[in-house]
Structure 1
Amino acid sequence: MQKTILKTTDLAIGYQTNKATERIIQEKVNIQLKIGTLTALLGVNGIGKSTLLKALYSGNHILKGNVLLEEKSISKYSTQERAKYISIVLTEKIPYSNLSVKELLKIGRTPYTNWSIHLTSEDWFWIDKAITLTNIEDLISYKVSQLSDGQLQRILIARAIAQNTPVIILDEPTNHLDLNHKVSLFKLLKKLAEEEDKAILFSSHDMDLSLQLSDEIIVLKSNFNIQGTSDTLIKKGVFDYFFNDNNLFFDRDQRRFIVK
C-alpha cells in the first residue's frame, strides 16, 4: 500500500476579511497525497486551487481543520523544516534571471546548506541527479533569462528534484506551453512520481491531459470537492457539468470535453 505523506482533515480555506468575518472558498476538504502518485488538482478559475496549494505547502489561508504532514500539523514545522519535505514550483517570474542554470539548481540545496557557499558531495549528488532526470545537460551554462518557457519549467522542476523532498507541489506548470511541451512535462512528472517515490500534486487547466496521465484527481467545484481516479470520477459524473457552459460537453467514452 502506498504511504500517505500529506493529508487534510475537514479543511476550510479562505481569507479573514476582518476580525469577525471569514470568506470561505472551500470547506470540508479531505484529501491525501501518496508516495509514488501523480495527482492533478482541477477546477475553474477562482474556485480556490492556488489557495488550497498554499494551505498545503505553507499553512496559510487555513480557517478550519488541518493540514497534516507525516501526521503532524503543517503549522508545527519551521520554514526550513517544511522545505525538507515539500518543494514548490510556481508560475511567477523568478528574481534570479542573471543566475546560470547551475547556480539556480544550487539554491535547491539551501534547506541543507543554510546559504553556505560550500556544497557537500551529497549536495552535488542531488544536483547531478536532477540534471540527469530532467535531461538539461545542454542548458547548464545558460542564464535563466535566456531560457524559453518550456526550458524554464524543466529547470524549476530540476531545482525541486535537487531539493530532494518527498512532496513536490506545482501551480499551473503547463501555463504558456505548447501541446508538445505539456505532454513532455506531464510524462516527466509521472516518471518522477513512480521511479523516484515522490508524491506530486499539480494544478492545471489541461483537463484532457490530466485525465489521461494522472493517477488521481482532486476536483474543486462550488461547495463541493472530491478525490479519486479518473475512472471513478468519470463514472460518478463529476465532469458532466464541470463548466457552466452549454457549448461544452464531456464525453465519458472518449474521456474528454467536446465543443457542441
Structure 2
Amino acid sequence: MIRLHDFSIGYDERTLLREVNAAIPKGSLTALIGRNGTGKSTLLRAIAGLKRRYAGEILLDGRDISDMRADEMAKKLAFVTTERTRIANLKCEDVVAVGRAPYTNWIGRMQDADREIVARSLASVGMSDYALRTMDKMSDGECQRIMIARALAQQTPVILLDEPTSFLDLPNRYELCSLLARLAHDEGKCILFSTHELDIALSLADSIALIDPPQLHCLPTAEMARSGHIERLFSNDGVRFDPVNGIVKANT
C-alpha cells in the first residue's frame, strides 16, 4: 500500500498538493488523473523516491521512503516511465533481466532462479515468444509490455507507471490496462498509473486518484463517478460525464 501523510509538493512558487492524506490500496489498479500540469508525473516521481523536495511522509507498506536505502526501495517499488524505449542489439530477455539487479550477487550474475523469474515475467505479459528479439524491431505496445515485464521481474509489491498508454492506439490502450488490472488482482500488487484517458480509467481501474490542486481525491471508481469531481474538473474541456454510459464529449 502507498500512503501519503500530510504530503505537500510543488515547484518554484506553485503548490501542486497541500497536506494530502491518502491511501492507494494493494491488490487493485488505481488510475491517477488530472488536468495537464497539475503534477501527475511529479507525484509519481516523488513516490518513486526520485523527487525528494516535499513535505510530509510517503509510506510504502508502513515505511517512510525517506528512511529507505536505494537497494531497499528497489525491492519495494518498480517505476515504468513514459519514455519510448528502443534498445538495439539487446534481447528482450536481457532487458527484463535488469529487473533482477536488486537480487543478483555482487557481480550481477544471474542464477537459475533469476532466469526462471525472467521467463515467468515475460509469460505474464504474453511476451514469451519475444524473449530473443530486440526492442528496436518491435511496436510501441510490445515494447511497453517488455518494460512491464521488467518491473514484474523486480518482484516489488508496488508498481508505478507514468502514462503507459501514451504511444498506443485505442485497442492496445485497453489491452494494456486490462493486463495491469489482471496483474494487480492476481498477484496482489499495488499498481498506480497516470493517464489522460478518462474512459479507460473509469472502465478498468478499481479506484481513481484525482489531482484537484491542492487536493488529491482518492475514491473507488464507482464513488468517483458519482462524486461530480470529474465533471467539474474537466468541464472546460467540453466533457460531460454520464455515470451510466461513461464519458461523453459535448456537442456530439
Check if 1:108 corresponds to 2:99: yes
User: Which runs of 5 or more residues in structure 2 are unaligned?
Assistant: none
Check if 1:56 corresponds to 2:50: no
Instruction: Give the Cα separation in 1 of the matches to 2:106 and 2:15.
Output: 38
Does the Cα contact within 8 Å between 1:248 and 1:259 map onto a contact in 2? Answer: yes
2:236 match: 245
Sort the Cα spacing of 1:257 and 1:71 in 2 relative to 1 into closer, same or farther, 3 A: same
Partner-residue secondary structure (3-state), 1:116: coil
* Offset of residue 99 of structure 1: 1.2
Instruction: Trace 1:78-157 onto structure 2 (pairs within 5 A).
Output: 78-94=69-85, 96-113=87-104, 116-157=107-148
Sort the Cα spacing of 1:189 and 1:78 in 2 relative to 1 into closer, same or farther, 3 A: same
Partner-residue secondary structure (3-state), 2:229: coil
Instruction: Give the Cα separation in 1 of the matches to 2:25 and 2:215.
Output: 22
Instruction: Trace 1:160-171 onto structure 2 (pairs within 5 A).
Output: 160-171=151-162
Does the Cα contact within 8 Å between 1:59 and 1:74 map onto a contact in 2? Answer: no
Check if 1:6 corresponds to 2:6: no
Sort the Cα spacing of 1:69 and 1:141 in 2 relative to 1 into closer, same or farther, 3 A: same
1:44 match: 35
1:259 match: 250
How many residues of Structure 1 are paired with residues of Structure 2 in the alignment? 251
Instruction: Give the Cα separation in 1 of the matches to 2:206 and 2:239.
Output: 25
Instruction: Give the Cα separation in 2 of the matches to 1:200 and 1:120.
Output: 28
The structure, 1 or 2, with the larger RCO (C-alpha pairs under 8 Å, 6+ apart) is 2
Sort the Cα spacing of 1:103 and 1:59 in 2 relative to 1 into closer, same or farther, 3 A: closer
With normalisation by structure 1, the TM-score equals 0.91
Partner-residue secondary structure (3-state), 1:58: coil
Q: CA RMSD in A?
A: 1.7
Instruction: Give the Cα separation in 1 of the matches to 2:89 and 2:145.
Output: 18
With normalisation by structure 2, the TM-score equals 0.93
Check if 1:216 corresponds to 2:212: no
Partner-residue secondary structure (3-state), 2:103: helix
* Offset of residue 127 of structure 1: 0.6
Instruction: Give the Cα separation in 2 of the matches to 1:192 and 1:158.
Output: 11
Does the Cα contact within 8 Å between 2:30 and 2:192 map onto a contact in 1? Answer: yes
Instruction: Give the Cα separation in 1 of the matches to 2:58 and 2:108.
Output: 34
Instruction: Give the Cα separation in 1 of the matches to 2:114 and 2:237.
Output: 53
Sort the Cα spacing of 1:8 and 1:59 in 2 relative to 1 into closer, same or farther, 3 A: farther
For 2:184, give the aligned amino acid.
Answer: A
Q: Which moved more, 1:114-123 or 1:36-45?
A: 114-123
* Offset of residue 168 of structure 1: 0.5
Instruction: Give the Cα separation in 1 of the matches to 2:95 and 2:5.
Output: 35
**Percentage of identical aligned residues:** 36
Does the Cα contact within 8 Å between 1:127 and 1:162 map onto a contact in 2? Answer: yes
Instruction: Give the Cα separation in 1 of the matches to 2:17 and 2:194.
Output: 15
Residue of 57, 61, 78 corresponding to 1:70: 61
* Offset of residue 207 of structure 1: 0.5
Where does structure 1 differ by over 4 angstroms across 4 or more consecutive aligned residues? none
Does the Cα contact within 8 Å between 2:121 and 2:152 map onto a contact in 1? Answer: yes
